[in-house]
Structures are given as structure tokens and as C-alpha cells.
């Protein structure tokens, strides 16, 4: 029986000049047909030599100038040799220098936050960079993500690898074309800011504007190849942003998008709502509300107290900024905040945000970070005791999770849980216990907690999780001169 042979590389020569950043590539292969009764019949009918070898040259003395910070876009039809080129580039580089998206290790059983970063802060920052900046996404598993979210996660793992070269075959090929544009924009932005190289190959030629490659390689069948070099420049705006418009909205817009915000509950009394749309599609929404009468950050800036009347006349607080998950990482949060603050019509806009630690979009929109407020030792001690009791601190923000955990406790554990809550002396927590004296005696608060139902205790634990967060206070003033004056006082 004859040995079957379909594909055999006859020439695979490469030279790589690291100092000059030049790859010289020669690749050719032979093919021949498997001999069967039918292939012999076809050969006889058309006068073919069924046992003849055919030589195919894919790359013939091709010189590519690619540096360790270039963005390389390889396009061409399927089977034209794009993947072979990526393989050749990888072989010329040392293994630690390269990371292939297809080789990213996935742990499908762990929450995302447990699979990236050496610490929780590093993990949150990595996930936020690629647009997985939602509290519920942090605790989801890879298998629970959409195709676009999985792609973003793999990009986070490429960043974490520390590799100088990010190799991406079939780049964005499985994504809808809007998501592909967003991912392409984000990949080039991250790579250029991190000082990395990207080599991305795909049959799709619609990503030029967003990827903005410094090297474009278009591979045709046979040995035909076209290479174009342009200046390596950061693309600061995704093409989709130009299709967005910001206009006044209402609470119905917020209700449509609230499912994408980790805090889906109520909000303070409303002042203004603005929405962002792309055609008829609702993309984002921002809520401006009446602020608390007293805020430590405000007092630190102005060095005086304001009356309730003054606060209502001069201040608004950004209560919610929600962007549809599909459109994250292209600066729409910045656009919403920046374009709407002057339209509120008040001298000062405030924001208190947890995510501002990991994603500084408020500052990019023109707000000034005044201070970070850290939780007290009393609150942190309570969280640690709850951990020892069996609670996952990462999930305390879910009243449903808290309730299920409480239902599984015995009387002794329940008593200990309530004692932990009564050890935290905080007016906000006392209100959740329905204590009629939130600023009053500790004995009354203890009595209220002891009588509280499981559902009420679950809500108190949720409130405690918010008190345990590090919050950032930010401020915007409609007068740059006044803001400069405030900042000089602050410094």
C-alpha cells in the first residue's frame, strides 16, 4: 500500500537580525494527490500526472522590518499563508518574548478575579483595562462570559504575561464587527501604552482605522505579498465614538441599562439625566442627583460647612454612570461625564466612586481627585470576622448571597454574626437595623439587631460591604480659575 502524503515543507529558511528588526523569510512546500480509483480516473480524463509533486512558494526572500513595539496587521484570504508567517516570526524570537492568544491558559472553574494579577488590586486593574470592569463580572467564571468578554479576558492575560510580542491569529474573526472594532482599538491602545508589539492575522480587512497598524502585510495566494509601513502612532479614538450623541434623557433610559450596573437599587433624589445613543440604540446613561448635606471631601476642599440650602443650590453629585458592556473601553464614560457636567447648570459637580481607584475616567473627563477615604479598622475587623464565620467578603454586596449563607447557619453562628454587626458603630448601619436612634445609644442598636429578621440582617451585611470600600472623592468646578484656587489651597 502506498504511503499517503499530502503536504511536505521543502524549504523553511529564516534569518532574523534583532538589532535591525528585520525578518528574512523563505517558505515553500510540495503537495501531491492521494492515489485512489477515483483520483486516477480524474487524472486520466484530464491528462494529469496523479503522482506528480507540485511546488508552492509562499514566501520568497521576503524581508519584513518589524520592531518590538510595532502593530502588525496581516490580512489575506484563508490559506494564503498568514498563520505560517506568524509561526515563522515566533520561531525567530525567544519563547519568553512571545505570548500567543491561542495558548492563553484558562481556568474555567474559578472566578475571573482569582485568575489574574498577583493581588486583588492588580487583578481589578487588569480586568478594568480590557473592559471587564463590572463588579459582577469580577466574580463570574470564564464559561459564563460572552464571546466578546472572553476575548477581552484573553487580552488581559497577554498583558499579565509580560511578553514583548503579542501574537494573535484569527484576530477578532469570531466577533461581530462592532465588537471587533472595539477590541482592535483597545488592543493597540494597551500595547502602545505598555510598549509591546502586536502581530495580528485575520481575513477581515475592516480594522485599519481602529487598529492603526504601523506595518500592514497583505498576503495573496502564491508568493505575492504587499507590505506597507507607516508611522507608529497611538490611536486615541475608536471609530465608533464619532457615531455617538449625548442628549437629555429620563429615568426610563436608566431603567433600561440599570441591569449593567453593580448597584441596581435606588438612588438619591434626581436632578438631571443624560443619555448616549448610537442611532436608535441606547448606549449609556448618567444620573445627576442631590448630594449629601455633608461630605468629608467637600469639607477638605472648601474648609467650611455649607448649609443645606447652599448645597442644594450649588452642588450635584454623579450617582450613576452606566455604559452598555459591549461599548466599554473606548472612552464613552469619559465622554458622558465631560459633555454633561457643564449642562447641569451648577457651579460644582461631585463624585464618590469605588471604581475610580482602578479606572480613572472621572479624572480623564476633567474632574479632580481630592482624596481617598479608607474604611475604619473597626469595619475591616468586622469583615475579617465574617470571613472566619464563612462569608466570602467579595460577595457581601449581594443580599441574596448573604441571605442564603445566613439560612445555613446554626443559632450560635447567627448570634456571632449579629454581634459582629453591633460592634460596628456607624449611623448608616443603624438605619438598616431600623433603630429609631441612629445616632443614639448603643443598647438600642444592639436590641434592634437582635430582633432583626434574616432578610434585614442580609441587607445590613450588604451595607457593611459598601462601608468597607475605599472611596474616591472627586470635584469639578465650572470655573477653571476657581478650581485652580481650590487646588492651591488643597496643596
Instruction: Name the pLDDT band for 15 (thresholds 50, 70, 90).
Output: confident
* pLDDT of residue 151 exceeding 60: yes
Give residue-wise pLDDT tens across range 322-361.
999 999 999 999 999 999 999 999 999 999 988 666 678 8
* Contact partners, residue 302, CB within 8 Å, separation at least 6: 486
pLDDT of residue 272: 97
Q: Which residue has the higher pLDDT, 139 or 474?
A: 474
pLDDT tens string 272-315: 999 999 999 999 999 999 999 999 999 999 989 999 999 999 99
Cα–Cα distance list, 125 to 192, 357, 374, 384 (Å): 17, 9, 18, 23
**Contact by Cβ (8 Å): 278, 243:** yes
User: pLDDT for 172-182, tens place per residue?
Assistant: 999 999 999 99
**488: confidence class by pLDDT, cuts 50, 70, 90:** low
For 369, the enclosing helix (H) or strand (E) is strand 368-373
Q: Where are the beta strands (DSSP E) in 48-202?
A: 54-65, 71-76, 98-100, 165-168, 197-202
In the chain, what are the domain boundaries? 1-65, 66-229, 244-374+470-490, 377-467
pLDDT confidence tier of residue 3, bands split at 50, 70 and 90: very low
Window from 272-281, 406-415, 419-428 with minimum mean pLDDT = 419-428
State the pLDDT confidence band at 13, using cuts at 50, 70 and 90: low
Q: Which fold has domain 66-229?
A: Rossmann fold (3.40.50)
Q: How many CA atoms lie within 13 A of 183 on its CB side?
A: 26
Cell 450649588: give the residue: 314
* Under 8 Å between Cβ of 439 and 427: yes
The whole model's pTM is what? 0.80
Collapsing DSSP to helix, strand or coil, 129 comes out as: helix
* Confidence band, pLDDT 50/70/90 cuts, at residue 193: very high
Domain 244-374+470-490 belongs to what topology? Aminopeptidase (3.40.630)
Return the higher-pLDDT residue of 53 and 210.
210
Q: What is the pLDDT of residues 369-408, one digit of tens each?
A: 999 988 888 999 999 999 999 998 877 888 888 999 999 9
Residue 168 near residue 125 (C-beta atoms within 8 A): no
Amino acid at each position: 500500500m502506498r504511503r499517503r502524503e499530502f503536504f511536505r515543507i521543502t524549504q523553511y529558511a529564516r534569518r532574523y537580525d534583532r538589532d535591525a528588526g528585520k525578518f528574512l523569510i523563505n517558505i515553500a512546500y510540495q503537495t501531491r494527490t492521494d492515489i485512489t480509483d477515483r483520483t486516477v480516473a480524474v487524472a486520466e480524463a484530464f491528462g494529469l500526472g496523479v503522482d506528480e509533486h507540485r511546488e508552492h512558494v509562499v514566501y520568497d526572500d521576503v524581508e519584513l522590518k518589524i520592531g518590538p513595539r510595532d502593530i502588525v496587521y496581516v490580512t489575506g484570504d484563508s490559506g494564503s499563508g498568514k498563520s505560517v508567517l506568524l509561526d515563522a516570526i515566533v520561531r525567530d524570537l525567544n519563547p519568553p518574548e512571545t505570548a500567543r492568544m491561542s495558548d492563553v491558559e484558562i481556568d474555567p472553574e474559578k472566578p475571573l478575579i482569582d485568575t489574574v494579577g498577583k493581588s486583588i488590586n492588580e487583578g481589578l486593574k487588569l480586568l478594568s483595562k480590557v473592559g471587564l470592569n463590572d463588579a459582577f463580572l469580577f466574580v463570574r467564571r470564564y464559561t459564563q462570559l460572552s464571546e466578546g468578554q472572553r476575548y477581552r479576558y484573553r487580552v488581559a492575560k497577554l498583558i499579565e504575561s509580560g511578553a514583548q510580542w503579542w501574537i494573535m491569529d484569527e484576530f477578532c474573526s469570531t466577533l461581530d464587527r462592532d465588537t471587533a472594532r472595539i477590541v482592535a482599538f483597545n488592543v493597540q491602545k494597551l500595547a502602545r501604552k505598555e510598549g509591546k508589539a502586536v502581530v495580528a492575522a485575520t481575513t477581515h480587512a475592516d480594522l485599519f482605522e481602529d487598529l492603526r497598524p504601523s506595518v500592514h502585510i497583505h498576503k495573496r495566494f502564491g508568493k505575492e505579498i504587499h507590505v506597507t509601513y507607516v508611522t507608529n502612532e497611538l490611536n486615541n479614538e475608536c471609530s465608533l465614538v464619532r457615531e455617538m450623541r449625548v442628549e437629555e434623557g429620563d429615568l426610563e433610559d436608566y431603567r433600561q441599562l440599570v441591569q449593567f450596573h453593580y448597584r441596581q437599587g435606588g438612588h438619591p433624589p434626581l436632578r438631571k439625566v443624560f443619555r448616549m445613543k448610537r442611532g436608535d440604540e441606547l448606549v449609556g446613561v448618567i444620573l445627576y442627583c442631590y448630594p449629601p448635606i455633608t461630605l468629608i471631601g467637600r469639607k477638605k476642599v472648601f474648609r467650611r460647612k455649607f448649609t443645606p440650602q447652599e448645597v442644594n443650590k450649588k452642588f450635584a453629585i454623579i450617582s450613576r454612570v452606566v455604559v452598555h458592556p459591549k461599548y466599554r473601553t473606548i472612552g464613552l464614560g469619559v465622554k458622558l461625564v465631560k459633555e454633561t457636567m457643564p449642562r447641569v447648570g451648577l457651579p460644582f459637580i461631585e463624585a464618590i466612586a469605588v471604581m475610580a481607584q482602578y479606572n480613572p475616567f472621572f479624572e480623564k473627563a476633567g474632574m479632580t481627585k481630592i482624596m481617598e477615604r479608607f474604611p475604619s479598622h473597626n469595619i475591616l475587623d468586622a469583615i475579617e470576622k465574617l470571613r472566619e464565620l464563612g462569608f466570602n467578603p467579595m460577595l457581601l454586596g449581594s443580599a441574596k448571597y448573604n441571605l442564603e449563607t445566613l439560612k445555613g447557619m446554626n443559632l450560635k453562628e447567627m448570634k456571632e454574626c449579629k454581634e459582629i454587626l453591633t460592634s460596628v458603630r456607624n449611623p448608616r448601619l443603624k438605619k438598616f437595623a431600623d433603630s429609631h436612634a441612629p445616632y443614639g445609644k448603643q443598647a438600642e442598636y444592639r436590641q434592634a439587631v437582635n430582633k432583626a429578621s434574616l432578610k434585614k440582617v442580609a441587607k445590613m451585611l450588604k451595607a457593611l460591604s459598601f462601608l468597607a470600600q475605599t472611596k474616591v472623592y472627586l470635584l469639578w468646578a465650572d470655573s477653571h480659575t476657581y478650581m485652580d484656587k481650590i487646588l492651591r489651597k488643597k496643596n
